[in-house]
Structure 1
Amino acid sequence: MHRRHAPPPKLHPHPSPLSSPATHPVPYLHRLLSAAAPAVSPGPRFAVEDYLVDTCGLTRAQALKASTKLSHLKSPTNPDAVLAFLAGLGLSSADVAALVARDPKFLCAGVERTLSPILAGLTGLGLSRSEIARVASLAPRSFRSRSVVSGLEYYLPLFSSSESLLRGLKKYKYFLSSDPERVVKPNIELLRECGLGTSDIAKLCLAVPWLLSAKPERVQVMLACVERLGVPRRSGMFRHALKAVESLSEEKLAAKVEYLRNTFRWSDAEVGIALRKAPLMLTKSNQTLQSKSEFLISEMGLEPAYLAHCPVMLCLSLEGRVKPRCYVIKFLKANGLLDRHWTYGTIVRVSEMVFVETFICPHKEAAPNLAEDYDAACRGEMPTNFRFTWTKNRL
């Protein structure tokens, strides 16, 4: 028998799409469905940079910089709510622009969750809405943290008034972010141990507000530095001495002391006397100190020892106060118009009103141009060879 051979398989001239190796069934069906489905256009993307310019009032350069911190924002909903909150505080458009430029992430703060409770808390501390607006403007990063309420609750009695606190905040905004328990209170306690009362501490903190947020170890270094200058704790000058050394390293301080010694021809003991009486001399530039030495010692003939015991003359304005007054007294002495002995130290210390009433007004007839020349000298119009006009028809 002959075996029947199976017929050969039929070959399709064009392969089926489902069996084509170039097209897998799943992506093919996906393309079919995509083609059949209606086209859906994506929603408009939130343009952060444009929002910062058009709505917040930033310059294009400010917006470009700020937008890098807001790339996660997808809509204006939260920023709009924040801007409404700031407007409710009374901030002007310019204030809002400055705040956002300083702290772009303020636009991400939750109004109901964060900002409104902070507003309520600060209002409860007795701050007015305008004062709260100033806190937000001066320290926006601290303001959007709920700890700002407890921080201000501690600082308000320390500064004695909200106005003083805001002045300190304007000079140094970062102390609000310091931990009162771990940093601020230990520093305040160190100052109290030196004999500084609440009023002195408040004045010092206004002058050197970073002192509140400094590491206590740094404050201890400052205290030791002042003591080495010879300014005793519990003296009235201790606060001023702390202010004087706050920006000086030990090397710069030693160099300044040496400069004082050489410029005013003082002994070591006289340097110590002068610094105990007027530690703020340390804040004066070398050029200013040199000019005062040339005038007071070389021109006026005052003794170095006298200046060491009356160093206040070195802390006052040379051109606006010391020179004009010294020339008035020199003129009055030369013409016999002083009825008693006045020291130059006393003369430069008295208020302007007292000086005019004591040394100018009584001599209107004897020296009719004295007041005019003195006023010109105080304005800096004193010629090199300063001479008061003089009339012989004096009494």
Structure 2
Amino acid sequence: MLRLRKCVVSYILSSSSTSAISPLRRLPSTTAAPISPNPSSFAVEEYLVHACGLTRPQALKASTKLSHLKSPAKPNAVLAFLSGLGLSGADAAAAVAKDPQLLCAKVDKTLAPLVDGLTGLGLSRSDIARLLSLTPDHFRRRAMLSRLQYYLPLFGSFHNFLRLLKNSSRLLYLNLDKVIKPNVVFLRECGLGDCDIAQLCIHAPRLLTANPERVRAMVACAEGIGVPRGSGMFREALHAVAFQSKEKIAAKVDYLKNTFRWSDAEASVAVRKYPRLLRKSKESLKRRAGFLFSEVRLEPVYIAYRPEILSYSMEGRLRPRYYVIKFLKQNGLLDRDLSLFYAVKMTEKVFAEKLICPHKEAAPHLAEDYATACKGEVSTNFRFR
């Protein structure tokens, strides 16, 4: 912020011999007195470089949209306002580079009222600064306020809204009544609550921004893989099939059947229980199949009814925990038949409490060996015949 103020003051002092008062002396006021330098001496490109902090290429590009400016008065007021809002010099420069016409916005009639409205919605000034940095072009439009009045309750928090906005700025200019609201109403009719919709759309924002007819088609596709509306797995199923063609989904199911030696019925069970299988890469599925069949010796039907086992990291969880279980069994330290599926579902803390800590005396190296295996290396103790 201090750098931004210094840049503007430096530019004014170097470009004008008048005794005009800089608006930055009145920060964080948004009603600074205008400067009236000689219009013919105002060079937009130089102003963008020295007062705004843009690079020369950025300034050259932005100046074409500001050629009508004859005075730095309005840009000075905007920069002072941004500084008072808490934007750093780098953030202000980035905002101007994205939307040069931000410098032409009226502080008293556009920017200040919008900030007041956003504050009324519960946003802090740092929240507003982040929002402006992300979407400076929309910040000049009063429609942003009405949109946030709708989005914030829907997504539950500004943090959730910001995450979604980073993935899709379309939220701020698509028609609420014709696109967004019909999609939200339909998703609610499918049994999804607002929290479900928020979590779903953070990862797949196009479920809100797509044509409503296309969203209906995706819901039908989710039902087509055996997950009915209103079920606990419906959100996952909708995310899994979102914007995938029926042909692509069918091809993925065929790959699953061939890789895991599943029948049609077993593949259907697996996909229904864990729809994210349809999003897994072929390479990751192939590696897990090789490990579970060759080393763990699991049966295809066992995996089909416990497909979540395919969601865990090979290096970070599956292989290291399998090594621990096998080591304990071979050394007579496990007094019960413990399945790998049960073991990988444990949190790291629970796994250590149940399978590492109780054997500190009999196997003092176990914790270190397990940590080594989690790094992708195999200790001597975990090299089984």
TM-score > 0.5 by shorter chain: yes
Query: In the alignment, does 2:324 pair up with 1:328?
Result: yes
What is the Cα-based RMSD across aligned positions, in Å?
1.8
Query: In the alignment, does 2:163 pair up with 1:195?
Result: no
Residue of structure 2 equivalent to 1:135: 131
Q: Report the Cα distance in structure 1 between the residues aligned to 2:119 and 2:76, rounded to whole angstroms.
A: 23
Query: In the alignment, does 2:381 pair up with 1:387?
Result: yes
Q: Report the Cα distance in structure 2 between the residues aligned to 1:166 and 1:293, rounded to whole angstroms.
A: 38
CA contact (8 A) 2:52 2:92 kept: yes
Q: CA offset at residue 367 of structure 1? A: 1.3
Q: Report the Cα distance in structure 2 between the residues aligned to 1:368 and 1:309, rounded to whole angstroms.
A: 36
Residue of structure 2 equivalent to 1:209: 205
Deviations 1:283-327 (A, max 9, x none): 221111111011011221111111111111111111111110111
Residues matched between the structures, number: 347
Q: CA offset at residue 274 of structure 1? A: 0.8
Q: Report the Cα distance in structure 1 between the residues aligned to 2:272 and 2:205, rounded to whole angstroms.
A: 23
Q: CA offset at residue 282 of structure 1? A: 1.8
Q: CA offset at residue 195 of structure 1? A: 0.8
- TM-score, structure 1 length as denominator? 0.84
Deviations 1:175-201 (A, max 9, x none): 122222211111111111111112211
Q: CA offset at residue 245 of structure 1? A: 2.2
CA contact (8 A) 1:326 1:344 kept: yes
Q: CA offset at residue 51 of structure 1? A: 1.6
Q: CA offset at residue 247 of structure 1? A: 4.4
Partner secondary structure for residue 140 of structure 1: coil
Q: Report the Cα distance in structure 1 between the residues aligned to 2:246 and 2:67, rounded to whole angstroms.
A: 46
Amino acid at match of 1:72: H
Q: Report the Cα distance in structure 2 between the residues aligned to 1:75 and 1:269, rounded to whole angstroms.
A: 73
Residue of structure 1 equivalent to 2:260: 264
Bigger mean CA deviation after superposition, 172-181 or 268-277: 172-181
Partner secondary structure for residue 358 of structure 2: helix
Deviations 1:326-359 (A, max 9, x none): 1111221222222222222111111110111111
Matches within 5 A, 1:54-73: 54-73=50-69
Deviations 1:138-175 (A, max 9, x none): 12222211011110011111111222222222232221
CA contact (8 A) 1:241 1:280 kept: yes
Matches within 5 A, 1:1-395: 44-382=40-378, 387-388=381-382
CA contact (8 A) 1:370 1:388 kept: no
Q: Report the Cα distance in structure 2 between the residues aligned to 1:72 and 1:255, rounded to whole angstroms.
A: 57
Q: CA offset at residue 361 of structure 1? A: 0.8
CA contact (8 A) 2:40 2:70 kept: no
Partner secondary structure for residue 360 of structure 1: helix
Seq. identity, %: 60
Q: CA offset at residue 137 of structure 1? A: 1.1
Where do 5+ consecutive residues of structure 1 fail to align?
Answer: 1-41, 391-395
Amino acid at match of 1:270: E
| Closer/same/farther in 2, CA of residues 190 and 97 from structure 1, 3 Å limit | same
Q: Report the Cα distance in structure 2 between the residues aligned to 1:62 and 1:128, rounded to whole angstroms.
A: 30
| Closer/same/farther in 2, CA of residues 250 and 140 from structure 1, 3 Å limit | farther
Q: CA offset at residue 44 of structure 1? A: 2.4
Where do 5+ consecutive residues of structure 2 fail to align?
Answer: 1-37
- TM-score, structure 2 length as denominator? 0.86
